Structure 1
């Protein structure tokens, strides 16, 4: 029963993320008076489909993708409302709209999570870890306090990398291969850099040896922090991609849809009550949707980022690249991505049976 619930949650999450992405392309295409021939959520055989106006809408069997097929997108058309007949800047907005909507979804989910919290997090140190010594006196258990950080310091950057939110902060501390950090803080209205700061909680043995202030929960604080945390999550994903390319991570560290379902099952069981488990699933959904948004902006053939590059080249040279050549590039890219997905899926299935 638990596995069935997990699969249903996974389908809901995949459907939401895919649907919002394709809706971005769809609504901006409509706003630019571009004819949309098909709008599909999922791939493979049609489960439900209907025609409304010029567009066929369908829900398909496999929730691993979707598409918004526009007239004149991949082949020439004499239709005045064809994709290719519109100004380059209009086509650019259509291409970027899908990834943008994924980021918007992440922002909205973060804002919703903040509304369920008592306070809005900040980057201002409120308290350091404490312990009791042999004489019964309360003393610091925080190595960062001993290194020079103070209560009231607002963390601005770590090792020169700007910190946007607590997501950014935790990721930086957990993934940097060093024991000391140069921390830039805002102290008494001035920026101060403390060198060789070490983080260690004597009570837990972990890196987090301080707590941060919580701000009052009002629309301004919620929207501001949600925007910053969306940027921080996108930055986290971007840094992970760089580390993947640089060789820090390998193919074995990747997960596809099957592996993601396993992670969703873990998230759905994390927490002491229903609210905490829902929050855990929402946090995972935020990560996935921002991941989809960032990944689609990469200039990899077959992705939206690659289509944007072709449009940028067209804008510069004032002449479109041959559709046959562009289609071939996208075909090769999609074939490579599907091959990668197959390899990762086989790997995920192997892990499943091994576990």
Structure 2
């Protein structure tokens, strides 16, 4: 169910994006002949008076189609309501409307989370939650299991705060090749275990609990989110705006790092499979955080689409800018060549990420 919830969130965000294009076009009287959620085979469609609405098999995408280049269209080529015959400003509004819709929707999701669910605040309990790296680790061999709560180390009680992580880590590091005592809470049972950390390359003790990708110990304080709903409407709007700004700035900063420090950050790029996995994990742990997950992905979707890359909204806006500067559009063959090349590269990257994340992670 959590996996389906994550898929649903992504589908809604794509629907919002494409609806932005659609509404911007129809509100100006511009013809739209297709509105599709998803790619691939059609599983449902409805023919309206002017537009065909369809749902396709793969929901991780969508498109709005215009009759401008449709060879089967019976609309005269010089009709003023074709998108290509509209002034640059009208076309720019249609092209950028998807990005604007995603940004507005992201802010509304943050408002809903804070207004309905509340502001998450962590309520800590004594101890630190741990997880052995594998069955060969020192911690596992000593009897530590996933989600055990270490409440004391060497008779030092771990407090109900983030300090529990620091205290436990320091005790382990400071006792290489020396036996230490762990008091563990496993459900309602209290266990006393003895474990001897081995010396790592830096001479500090390690027992193999929760190693991250870079090899550093990762522990989790024993805390659960408690939601504070005691906020006024004005405060909810203000806090949501602040969080929205933080996400937007952070997203642009992340893309900046990808450009300036590609080698170090390329591995952090997430494709559809990884995004769905993250969303499913969030939904499983705390469904309320799906609002924040949706806002985060919606903003990322907006930022990606506004980049001046072929086959994206930003690429089409770049063509409009060139047209405005030249006084006439670039030749169709050049635009089509650039857009087709960009589409192939974009699809290739998408397929690569899907295969990589599905088979190797």
TM-score by length of 1: 0.66
Which one of the candidate residues 259, 266, 269 is aligned to 2:274? 259
RMSD: 2.7
String of CA shifts for 1:182-227, please: whole Å, max 9, x gaps. xxxxxxxxxxxxxxxxxxxxxxx99xxxxxxx99722322223322
Tell me which of 344, 350, 353 is aligned to 1:341: 350
Name the residue aligned to 2:196. none
Question: Can you give the 5+ residue segments of structure 2 that lack an aligned partner in the other structure?
Answer: 122-161, 164-218, 221-227
Aligned counterpart in structure 2 of residue 9 of structure 1, from 2, 5, 12? 5
| 1:237-248 pair list within 5 angstroms | 237-247=251-261
Q: Is the contact between residue 120 and residue 225 of structure 1 (CA under 8 Å) also seen in structure 2? A: no
Within-5 A mapping of 1:57-72:
57-72=53-68
Q: CA deviation at 1:6?
A: 2.9
Query: Cα–Cα, structure 1 residues 74 and 84, in superposed 2: closer, same or farther, change >3 Å?
Result: farther
**Contact 2:118-2:229 at 8 Å conserved across structures:** no
Q: 1:321 Cα shift? A: 1.4
- Aligned partner of 1:320 in structure 2 is 329
Cα deviation 1:266-316 (Å, max 9, x = unaligned): 10122xxxxxx1222221111111100111000011100110111111122
The 10-residue stretch of structure 1 (300-309 or 225-234) with the greater mean CA deviation from structure 2:
225-234
The residue matched to 2:68 in structure 1 has which SS?
coil
Structure 2 residue aligned with 1:282: 291
What residue number does 2:177 align with? none
Are the structure 2 counterparts of residues 82 and 320 from structure 1 closer, same or farther at C-alpha, using a change threshold of 3 Å?
same
Contact 2:7 2:276 in 1 (8 A): no
Output the CA distance in 2 between the equivalents of 1:32 and 1:291: 28
CA displacement, residues 53-95 of structure 1 (integer Å, 9 cap, x when unaligned):
1100000000111000113268993332100111110100100
Matched, 1:36 2:45: no
Determine if contact 2:40/2:56 at 8 Å carries over to the other structure: yes
Q: How many residues align?
A: 255
Task: Tell me, in whole angstroms, the C-alpha distance in 1 between the residues paired with 2:301 and 2:321.
Answer: 22
* Greater C-alpha radius of gyration: 2
Q: Is the 8 A contact 1:24 1:97 kept in 2?
A: yes
